[in-house]
Amino acid sequence: MGISVGETVPQRPVCFEGAWVDDVLLAGDGQENVLHIGRAISRAELRRLVQDEQERFRAAGLTTGGTLAVRMPPSEGCVVAMLAGWRQGAQVALIDHRLTTFEVGRTIARLAPQLVVEPVENVSGRLRGYFDVRSRVVPVPSGRPAATPHALLQLSSGSTGPSKVIGRTVGSLLAELDRYAQLDGFPRRGERCVVLASVVHVLGLVGGLLHGLASGARVVLPGMQTVDGILRAVAAEDEPTTVLGVPSQAALLATAQSPPRLPNLRRMIVGGELVQAETRERFTRGYGAALGAMYGMTEVGVIATDLDGSTSPGLTPAPGTKVRVEDGQILLGLDRTPYVGPADPARYVDGWLRTKDAGRLDDATGLLTVHGRLDSQVSVGGLKVDLGEVEATLCALPGVTDAVVVQGAGIEAFVTVTHQGVREGLAESVATRLAPYKRPRRLHVLNELPRTVTGKPVRDAEALRTAARSAAPA
Residue 3 confidence (pLDDT) above 60: no
Q: 369 falls in which pLDDT band (50, 70, 90)?
A: very high
What mean pLDDT, rounded, does the chain reach?
88
Q: 316 falls in which pLDDT band (50, 70, 90)?
A: very high
* CA 229 and chain centroid, separation: 20
How high is the pLDDT of residue 158? 53
Nearest CA among 313, 288, 319 for reference residue 301: 319
Mean pLDDT of 106-134: 92
Least confident segment among 64-73, 107-116, 387-396: 387-396
Q: 13 falls in which pLDDT band (50, 70, 90)?
A: very low
Nearest CA among 322, 328, 439 for reference residue 375: 328
pLDDT digits (tens, 9 = 90+) for 80-100: 999 999 999 999 999 988 888
Burial of 451 (0-12, 13-18, 19+ CB in 10 A): middle
Cα-based torsion angle of the residue sequence 130, 249, 94, 40 in order, rounded to the nearest 10 degrees: -30
Q: Which residue has the higher pLDDT, 389 or 405?
A: 405
How high is the pLDDT of residue 410? 83
Nearest CA among 257, 259, 318 for reference residue 288: 259
How high is the pLDDT of residue 162? 58
Mean pLDDT of 179-184: 96
Q: What is the DSSP letter of 39?
A: S
How high is the pLDDT of residue 367? 96
Mean pLDDT of 140-164: 82
Residue 214 confidence (pLDDT) above 90: yes
Q: 11 falls in which pLDDT band (50, 70, 90)?
A: very low
Across 270-305, b (16+ Cβ under 10 Å) vs e yields bbbbbbbeebbebbbebbebbbbbbbbbbbbbbbbb
The Cα–Cα gap between 409 and 169 comes to: 43
The Cα–Cα gap between 449 and 407 comes to: 17
Most confident range (mean pLDDT) of 11-15, 161-165, 180-184, 377-381 is 180-184
The partner residues of 268 in beta bridges, in order of sequence, read 243, 291
CB within 8 Å of 348: residues ≥ 6 apart: 334, 337, 338, 339, 354
Q: What percent of the chain has pLDDT over 70?
A: 92
What pTM does this model have?
Answer: 0.82
Residue 54 confidence (pLDDT) above 90: yes
How high is the pLDDT of residue 18? 85
The Cα–Cα gap between 19 and 26 comes to: 10
Residue 14 confidence (pLDDT) above 60: no
How high is the pLDDT of residue 221? 98
How high is the pLDDT of residue 236? 95
Q: What percent of the chain has pLDDT over 90?
A: 62
Q: What is the DSSP letter of 324?
A: E
Q: 219 falls in which pLDDT band (50, 70, 90)?
A: very high
Q: What is the DSSP letter of 162?
A: S
Q: 381 falls in which pLDDT band (50, 70, 90)?
A: low
The Cα–Cα gap between 428 and 414 comes to: 16
Q: 383 falls in which pLDDT band (50, 70, 90)?
A: low
pLDDT digits (tens, 9 = 90+) for 426-459: 888 888 888 787 888 888 888 888 887 666 788 8
The Cα–Cα gap between 90 and 10 comes to: 24
CB within 8 Å of 318: residues ≥ 6 apart: 5, 6, 179, 182, 183, 302, 303, 304, 305
Helix (H, G, I), strand (E, B) or coil at 469: helix
How high is the pLDDT of residue 393? 86
Domains contained in the chain, CATH given:
1-9+170-373 (3.40.50.12780), 17-148 (3.40.50.980), 381-469 (3.30.300.30)
The DSSP string of 87-154 is HTT-EEEE--TTS-HHHHHHHHHHH--SEEEEESS----TTBS-----EEEEE-TT-----SS-SEEE
Least confident segment among 169-173, 262-266, 409-413: 409-413
Q: Which runs of E-coded beta strand occur in 336-432?
A: 348-349, 352-361, 368-373, 377-380, 383-386, 400-407, 411-417
* CA 380 and chain centroid, separation: 33
Give how far Cα 393 sits from Cα of 277, 300, 324, 396, Å: 11, 31, 28, 5
Mean pLDDT of 7-26: 66
Amino acid at residue number 289: A
What percent helix, strand, coil does the chain show, rounded to 5? 30, 30, 45
Mean pLDDT of 369-375: 83
pLDDT digits (tens, 9 = 90+) for 330-359: 999 999 999 998 888 889 999 999 998 989
Helix (H, G, I), strand (E, B) or coil at 298: coil
Give how far Cα 193 sits from Cα of 220, 226, 268, 273, Å: 6, 17, 9, 20
Mean pLDDT of 461-467: 85
